[in-house]
């Protein structure tokens, strides 16, 4: 029987043999520093890859997770624990991966992560100089810079060993991550295995020069927005979702999967976004550099926000 984990044992061993350090006393009262209290743990699901590690001990135990829903140069990270109890929804929150890694600011969407409580969540490439970062707001020339099969920059993350999260008026929290090279490399292999599990040939996906594209995305976006739950609107509830579609060589949707990322309490989706894509989306299929169509996957993030 085919296994998702077939390529991962050696990578997991490499990042798990490092003995966790016990939580050290914090010599800086203006900074909460948490040491690792477990090895990295990789979880391979049907739709995503997750790697996680525990920090601190006892009542201060905190969890840090990195999630990917598709091969990408970026991933979503989550930090949850008692040290974030006083961090407030809607406020500017800063993060920094060091030394010399990615840093940024975002508006905190209030959420929680099980028994760990309050959670802070954002997306990052972890290293500076993300090769796709400068192209997010401009049209990309895929013939000059083909899509291929994107991956996290594991080698570039070798020197990234800590994460600091802060919010004005709150005590900053720093995790001693250890080098992120091994964890990111494990995620890259996991995502390759997952693409195969979805029924795609890796070499064929690596030949993609231009990805599938929804040519009428504004119309589809309006249709999705119309299904914002009235009950959630009245309560000010917000949510983020991730959607993945399989697009055939004719630009038709073979299947569509909606995954929940971050959902406010009691958020109930009024209409399935997959239905809007299936009914209204006009999609150009993926193509290689010769212009031949390739069966591929298409992902989108759906964000429900109150203005």
Is 69 in the same domain as 212?
no
DSSP strand pairing (32-34 vs 75-80): unpaired
> Does residue 70 sit within a domain?
yes
C-beta separation of 129 from 101 below 8 A = no
Each residue of 39-51: pLDDT tens digit? 999 999 888 999 9
Given a cut of 80, whether residue 92 has pLDDT beyond it is: yes
Q: Compute the 3-state secondary structure of the chain and give helix, strand, coil in percent, each to the nearest 5.
A: 20, 35, 45
In a domain, 151, yes or no: yes
Three-state DSSP state, 143: coil
Instruction: Give the separation between CA 246 and CA 259, rounded to whole angstroms.
Output: 14
What pLDDT does residue 241 have? 73
- Between 42-46, 148-152, 239-243, the lowest mean confidence (pLDDT) is in 239-243
Q: 164, 199, 234: which is the final residue of a domain?
A: 199
Nearest to 296 by CA among 305, 287, 304: 287
Number of H helices, E strands in the chain: 6, 19
Q: What is the mean pLDDT of residues 248-267?
A: 75
How many structural domains comprise the chain?
2
Supply the pLDDT for residue 29: 55
Average pLDDT of the segment spanning 239-260: 86
Condensed to tens digits (0 to 9), the pLDDT of residues 94-113 reads 999 998 899 999 888 777 78
For the purposes of burial, counting CB atoms within 10 Å of the CB of 290, is it exposed (0-12), middle (13-18) or buried (19 or more)? exposed
Q: Is 183 helix (H, G, I), strand (E, B) or coil?
A: helix
Sign of CA dihedral 159, 160, 162, 164: positive
Instruction: Please tell me whether residues 225 and 296 are part of one structural domain.
Output: yes
- The residue ranking higher by pLDDT, 258 or 39, is 39
CB contact at 8 A, 83 and 32: yes
Question: Above 60 in pLDDT, residue 19?
Answer: no
Q: Are residues 78 and 107 in the same domain?
A: yes
pLDDT digits (tens, 9 = 90+) for 268-289: 554 577 888 898 999 999 999 8
Q: Which residues pair with 67 in a beta bridge?
A: 50, 76
157 and 218: one domain? Answer: no
Instruction: Tell the burial category of 17 from Cβ atoms under 10 Å away from its Cβ (0-12, 13-18, 19+).
Output: exposed
Residues 40 and 162 grouped into a single domain: yes
Host domain of residue 282: 208-304
**What is the rounded distance in angstroms from the CA atom of residue 277 to the CA atom of residue 259?**
15
């Amino acid at each position: 029987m085919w296994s998702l984990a077939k390529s991962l044992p050696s990578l997991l061993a490499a990042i798990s043999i490092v003995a966790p350090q016990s939580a050290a006393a914090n010599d800086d009262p203006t900074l909460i520093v948490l040491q690792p209290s477990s090895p990295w743990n990789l979880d391979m699901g049907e739709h995503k890859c997750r790697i996680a590690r525990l920090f601190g001990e006892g009542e201060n135990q905190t969890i840090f997770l990195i999630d990917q829903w598709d091969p990408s140069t970026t991933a979503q990270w989550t930090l949850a624990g008692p040290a974030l109890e006083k961090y407030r929804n809607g406020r500017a929150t800063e993060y920094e991966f060091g030394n010399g890694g990615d840093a940024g600011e975002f508006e905190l969407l209030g959420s929680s992560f099980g028994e760990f409580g309050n959670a802070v969540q954002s997306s990052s490439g972890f290293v500076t100089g993300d090769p796709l970062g400068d192209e997010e707001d401009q049209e990309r020339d895929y013939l000059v810079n083909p899509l291929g099969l994107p991956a996290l920059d594991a080698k570039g993350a070798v020197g990234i060993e800590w994460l600091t999260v802060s919010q004005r008026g709150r005590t900053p929290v720093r995790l001693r991550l250890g080098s992120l090279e091994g964890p990111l490399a494990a995620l890259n292999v996991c995502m390759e295995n997952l693409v195969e599990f979805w029924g795609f040939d890796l070499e064929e996906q690596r030949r993609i020069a231009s990805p599938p594209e929804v040519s009428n995305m504004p119309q589809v976006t309006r249709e999705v927005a119309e299904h914002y739950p009235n009950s959630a609107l009245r309560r000010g509830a917000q949510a983020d979702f991730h959607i993945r579609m399989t697009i055939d060589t004719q630009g038709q949707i073979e299947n569509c999967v909606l995954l929940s990322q971050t959902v406010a309490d009691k958020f109930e989706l009024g209409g399935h976004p997959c239905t809007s894509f299936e009914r209204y989306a006009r999609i150009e299929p993926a193509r290689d550099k010769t212009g031949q169509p390739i069966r591929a996957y298409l992902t989108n993030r759906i964000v429900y926000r109150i203005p």
